[in-house]
Amino acid sequence: MEREIPDQKLALADKIWFGKESPFRAAREAWRHLQDELEQWEKELEAERSALAQSILGIGVGDIVAAENSGRFLRLSVNDVSLVPSENGATFVVYGIRFRKDGTLGKQRDTLYLRFEGGR
């Protein structure tokens, strides 16, 4: 709800129209509960996608991954891995901290995308 009515106004409307019953406030609490549950489901789904991506790619948090990215050599210490499915295939996303040219771990974060297209 982008423009939520303040609780005091909602309570007043409940009292004027419904007396002791509070259907508006009950609906608001149910909505908030649904939002909390949806947020929890999204977190669990992301954790499952991450675990699946790590299993498929054979890499995990803390591993070092090296690849060529846009014509340059990229070496990352992996922080997270995710999977983004689509109708045409899947994209694996590897997040991590980039190593410097001298081989030491830097502070800059970078992302590596691995796109796989499936045929039908």
Nearest to 108 by CA among 80, 68, 60, 76: 76
Cα distances from 99 to residues 58, 74, 92, 104, 106, in angstroms, run: 21, 8, 20, 6, 5
Q: Are residues 9 and 32 in the same domain?
A: yes
Residue 76 identity (one-letter amino acid): L
Q: Kindly report the pTM of this predicted structure.
A: 0.68
- Looking only at the bridges linking them, the beta strands covering 89-99 and 72-86 are antiparallel
pLDDT of residue 120: 54
Q: Which of 9, 43, 58 is the last residue of a domain?
A: 58
Q: What is the pLDDT of residue 36?
A: 95
Tell me what pLDDT residue 119 has. Answer: 58
Residue 33 is part of which domain span?
1-58
User: What does the pLDDT read at residue 80?
Assistant: 95
Q: What is the pLDDT along the chain (120 residues), one digit of tens a residue?
A: 556 767 777 677 766 767 777 777 788 788 889 999 999 999 999 999 999 999 999 999 999 999 987 788 889 999 999 999 888 899 999 999 999 988 899 999 999 999 988 755
Please count the structural domains in the chain. Answer: 2
Q: Which residue among 11, 43, 58 closes a domain?
A: 58
